[in-house]
Amino acid sequence: MKKIVLSGIRPTGQLHLGNYLGALQKFVRMQQEGIYDSFFFIADLHALTTQPDPALLHSNVRHIVAEYLAAGLDPDKSTIFVQSDVPEIPELYLLLNMHVGIGELMRTAAFKDKARKQLGITVSHDDDDNDVAREIIGNESNKRVNAGLLTYPTLMAVDILIQHADFVPVGKDQEQHLELTRRFARRFNSFYGVDYFKEPQNFNFGGKPVKVPGLDGSGKMGKSEGNCIYLVDEDKALRKKVMRAVTDAGPTEPNQPMAEPVENLFTLLRLVSTPDKVEFFTNAYNNCEIRYGDLKKEIAEDILKITAPIRERTKEIENDEQYLARVLKQGAEQARERAAKTLADVRGIMGITPFWK
């Protein structure tokens, strides 16, 4: 039996370098190894938690399938599908929610951040769980945190568990959700006294999970932070973004510790450039001879080596609606096969198999 790989990305906009280095690049490499049964999908139901414009959601789904294919995912080697094409997922989500606690969902870091954004409260990272709970329960304005956002981790766990995935290649920011998935799987197994769900793991080819920083000096690259390099950025625009990345006045003493914005540029360099370039610029920094302009130029060119071919292929594929539709139709059929089996098993385990049929 081949090990099963599964991962997804929300269609909330064009894919950025964080999505690529944290996730999509691993999808393609894992597919190419040829030893896994792989499933890659577009998490459109998850995107609904932030209430996107329907027309935009529709076009984002199409764009991301094109980006998946342009980056190297191959429908003959991987199952590529859209989450909402698998109706077994929302049904299992309802069933699994019966074993998930609201407290544990409210303590999830992503929930706390997004809930506060929905309420229009400034996000602080050292927030107290009780404060967040009070803000949500006590909020009497017409702003609300939707229940779908709270149960986001259940839906993600279902995506994974319904296909019995062994490996879930994701960036560092999704590890807490993966930990919850393992917890839900263990809880289900122990509650019903079965050995049914597996406990999935992240996959990093022996390295560490990746967190791609933004260009604004702090935090991660993210669509809502406005600090992204997109895979489809044109050469000129991309170079301009990198050249504008925040730095500092430069080191004044040998081996001076790096400020966060500079550390972030080196993180990017390590992710996209060769080890000898990393060594060259690290030495230049340590000897106080670094020129940030040169460093940024190298980073921009090395990013373009990765993104420009994907950008060009995306343009070709994106308008071939018939091809995209064929890929997704085939993917949905394949994804539903195991999903239907899992759902039937779980209904049986939970005691809702109808005896009148």
Helix axes 88-97, 152-161, angle to 10 degrees: 120
**Given the residues 172, 211, 220, 297, the one annotated as active site:** 220
Please give the residues from 38 up to 77 whose contact with ligand TYM meets the rule CB under 6 A: 43, 46
The site that binds ligand TYM (CB under 6 A) totals a number of residues, namely: 26
Q: How far is the CA of 354 from the CAs of 65, 66, 89, 92, 182, in angstroms?
A: 38, 42, 20, 16, 29
Q: Which of 240, 248, 239 is nearest to 302 (CA)?
A: 239
Is residue 114 among the annotated active site residues?
Answer: yes
Which of these segments, 16-24, 85-93, 125-133, 248-256, binds ligand TYM (CB under 6 A)?
Answer: 16-24
For residue 159, state whether it binds ligand TYM (rule: CB under 6 A).
yes
CB of 335 to ligand TYM, least distance (A): 12
Please give the residues from 172 up to 211 whose contact with ligand TYM meets the rule CB under 6 A: 173-174, 177, 210-211
Q: How far is the CA of 67 from the CAs of 19, 139, 160, in angstroms?
A: 11, 40, 22
Residues in the chain: 357
For residue 310, state whether it binds ligand TYM (rule: CB under 6 A).
no
In contact, 347 and 95? CB cutoff 8 Å: yes
**Given the residues 112, 114, 241, 296, the one annotated as active site:** 114
For residue 5, state whether it binds ligand TYM (rule: CB under 6 A).
no
Residue 252 per-residue DSSP state: S
Which of these segments, 14-22, 58-66, 296-304, 310-318, binds ligand TYM (CB under 6 A)?
Answer: 14-22
321 CA to centre of own chain = 25
CB of 267 to ligand TYM, least distance (A): 10
For residue 156, state whether it binds ligand TYM (rule: CB under 6 A).
yes
Q: How far is the CA of 65 from the CAs of 157, 158, 226, 306, 324, in angstroms?
A: 22, 21, 22, 18, 7
CB of 219 to ligand TYM, least distance (A): 9
Report which residue type is found at 345. D
> Please, which residue, 173 or 301, has the CB nearer to ligand TYM?
173
Report which residue type is found at 220. K
Among 13, 52, 148, 222, the residue binding ligand TYM under the rule CB under 6 A is 222
Is residue 220 among the annotated active site residues?
Answer: yes
For residue 171, state whether it binds ligand TYM (rule: CB under 6 A).
yes
CB of 23 to ligand TYM, least distance (A): 4
Full 3-state SS string of 84-138: HHCCHHHHHHHHHHCCCCHHHHHCCHHHHHHHHHHHCCCCCCCCCHHHHHHHHHC
**Binding track, positions 84-123, relative to ligand TYM; x by CB under 6 A:** ----------------------------------------
For residue 231, state whether it binds ligand TYM (rule: CB under 6 A).
no
Q: Which of 185, 183, 202, 190 is nearest to 107 (CA)?
A: 183
Binding interface with ligand TYM (CB under 6 A): 6-10, 18-19, 22-23, 43, 46, 156, 159-160, 168, 170-171, 173-174, 177, 210-212, 220-222
Query: Known catalytic residues?
Result: 114, 220, 223
